[in-house]
Chain A
Amino acid sequence: MATKKATRDAYGEALVELGKVNPDIVVLDADLSQSTKTVGFARAFPERFVQIGIAEQDLIGTAAGLAAAGKIPFASSFAVFATGRAYDQIRNSVAYGRLNVKIAATHAGVTVGEDGGSHQMLEDISLMRALPGMTVIVPADGVEAKAAVKAATEYEGPVYLRLGRGGWPVIFEEDHRFEIGKAALLKDGDAATIIACGVMVSQALEATKLLEAEGIDVRLLDMATIKPLDVDACLKAAEETGAIVTAEEHNIIGGLGSAVAEVLVEKCPVPMERVGVKDTFGQSGTPDELLEHYGLTAKDIVAAVKRVMARKA
């Protein structure tokens, strides 16, 4: 069985590693450093750690100021508060001025579990994607998360990094090369293409195996960067496999599925299905129960692939 690691843990480790070589990195947190894993950086570089308290709007505004002063701020909280509570600060203080702020938010999606609907952020990709100039990254595993933190540091401009709470299977080898805006081909095939992000990449991998057992050979793309989207990879998949299924731990409105649909409908319309949360809030439960309840399992992806294949001309 694959080892498991939370993307938030990878984020915490990456910060400490990068902090050693890049003195411009400053980390900010809003009274959740134990949970977001910025606590490691806080211990290693206390003078470059800013504890803002429970004040997410202030968190983002202060990060914007630090960026304007030439620093590379990473601002962290739970996804619901980092993007929702501070949306206008992100829009007007960060994105409008194209400031070099990295928003690294953990506890996204229903896999937050028992804390319930108030804490299960399902609209953050949508909110962040709608902002001009914002880069949106949803890593699939710990390896990719670490690589994404490094890429975000090297990139000049605002970045939103969406991270999870739970331990997810490690998919990539340590030498995985992550590039902002480039999808990773995890499996080739021609019956249809699954385009997934975040925790849904491991569910999709599982789905490809279930389908393979039935003699259905699908392609799988890990679309870790949702903005800018890898349009070429989407179009190539549409042309070569003729059907697309997207899978995300997010509302089906405004996220990965919407981003892919926008490209396909204009440039290469093919049958498509979106696996995601069907425009509802979350609730308390274990992560596995919730993935099942909201239709976010390998089984659900398999069913969507079969539906979309049936619609192929």
Chain B
Amino acid sequence: MTDTAHTVELSPRLLAWVRFVCRGVMSLLVCEQLALSYGLDGDTPIQALRGIDLSIGAGSFVALVGRNGSGKSSLARCMNGLLQPTSGRVLVDGLDTRSRSDRIAIRSTVGMVFQNPDNQFVMSTVREEVAFGPENLGVPMPELANRVEQALRATGLEDVADADPQHLSAGGKGRLAIAAMLALQPRCLVLDETTALMDPLARRETLAMARQLRDRGIAVIWVTHHMDEVAHMERVVALDHGRIGFDGSPAELFADMALCEALGLGLPPSVQVAQGLAARGLPVRPVALQTEALVDDLVTAWSQRA
């Protein structure tokens, strides 16, 4: 029997059913030996990704870190089929990103928010901006309006729905970029250094927003250089020259200073101080992921000494 005969046998309905049943157990996003090169037609192709194996489940919150040029954006773009692997494959909810016929399904399952959301806004009001994506995908009217209102509510933008996107605060722009993606009802959101150009308040606002989405079951992949943000996540994936240099919890990562150094990363300031004090014999936990944890430990240490 040939391959084509196989595919004919599995009807689309059956396939959809299999996919539905597997949803709970299957990873939402899987990269298998993913490799990507740029400029293959030129004389010196650039190998941006060199064999990435990664699997991300529904509703997880993952920080993606690594040096400039380590491949974070390349990986992010492979995750929703904006870029195709040179070898290996990427599966989104079981669909291979190379399949042309599944392109729309893939793009609406994995939403991307880039750096500098300003440049992405094309419409003249916040509401129109949020409606733009689903409208283009042909979402019909009552449903479209519902989605838009939901996305505006989820991001706290109802009150400024008629404002010009350019007039929003920096944090407001971050939330709008997320709202526009939410209206596509993705199950995974990739934020590629979305907060890099924001001031700290706007950054915090956008991160809080992302955390709420995770709580509603959306997988969030957060690309960042800010170690204090990383400290709040469940899992960190660090890229190193196109390979995975670390995949684990922030506590494990920050406990290993030599590894952080090798990956070009830093320590969050609370960990830096806690490690220094612990090494000097103060009774504090060395990996204080949050400032509050360090404060608690210090207060306890002082009270027990007195």
Real complex partners, A and B? no
Q: Which residues of A contact B (CB under 8 A)?
A: none
